[in-house]
Amino acid sequence: MIARVLSVARIHVVSWPLLFAWPLGVLTAAFAIPWVIFALVDTEDRNMTGSVYSILGIALAFYLVAMTQSLPFALGLGVTRRDYFLATLLVALTQIVGFGVLLWGLSAAEQATDGWGVNMVMFGIPAEFTDNRLVQLGTFLAVLALIAAAGLLMGAIQQRWRVTGLYTLGAVVLVLGGLAAILVTWQRWWPEVGHWFTDSPRAVPMVLLPAVLAAVCLGGAWMLVRRATA
């Protein structure tokens, strides 16, 4: 089985630019642009930028394509849904670990160089909430895993129910999120929500929560892939 999964994983290797090259290119541009701006401003204040999250959009796109285009192609070649899904998870694990460790290392370099010499905070956002290096690494890994899993789920929904499925998913998320916000506001629970995030061990909201959401998305994606048509 391992040999089959590795063989099927080669289908994704064809898309290596979208898997590795494009995320690295986007990340480089997302770093260079704010660095130049902050260097020109020449301020002693800390300069926060969320441009590191640009890499998440590229990762999301890859897993959408994996479900909407690569899956039908693989099924047409006689690949089983189980082997394809496991191969995709293997590729995802490689990307998640690779970029997670990369971002973690860049975060350490950012702190060691005083924000790349311009007091910029781009990669070290998890460090703003915890000094625990392992929790910081876990945060990068968990968030990347959540994005990959969400991409697989959205792609599986698109493959099963086309655009109608994605619109329905968006509407459901919007309605449920809105109802939750209304309920919390009505019951005046916002302070309790804030206290939960601040009082809980940092690993819970930063690592465990996105990891659980990723597992739920993966479970949903697999249930849909099992019923997917070529």
10-14, 77-81, 94-98: which is most confident: 94-98
Whole-prediction pTM:
0.94
Which two three-digit tokens encode residue 164?
A: 């109608």
Helix (H, G, I), strand (E, B) or coil at 228: coil
In a domain, residue 20? The reply is: yes
Distance of CA 74 to the CA centre of its chain: 24
User: How buried is 157 (Cβ within 10 angstroms: 0-12 exposed, 13-18 middle, 19+ buried)?
Assistant: buried
pLDDT tens for each residue of 202-224: 999 999 999 999 999 999 999 99
pLDDT tens digits along 175-212: 999 999 999 999 999 999 999 998 999 999 999 999 99
Report if residue 11 sits inside a domain. yes
Amino acid at the residue 75: L
Number of domains in the chain: 1
Alpha helices in 14-79 (DSSP H): 16, 22-41, 54-65, 71-76
In a domain, 195, yes or no: yes
124 and 107 Cβ atoms separated by less than 8 Å = yes
Tell me the C-alpha distance between 28 and 1, whole Å.
38
The answer to whether residue 229 scores a pLDDT higher than 90 is no
The domain in which residue 175 lies consists of 2-225
* Residue 13 within any structural domain of the chain: yes
Question: What does the mean pLDDT of the chain come to?
Answer: 92
Residue 182 within a domain: yes
Q: What is the CB neighbour count within 10 angstroms for residue 10?
A: 10
Q: pLDDT tens digit string along 51-63?
A: 988 899 888 988 9
Task: Confirm whether 101 is domain-assigned.
Answer: yes
Residue 21 located in a structural domain: yes
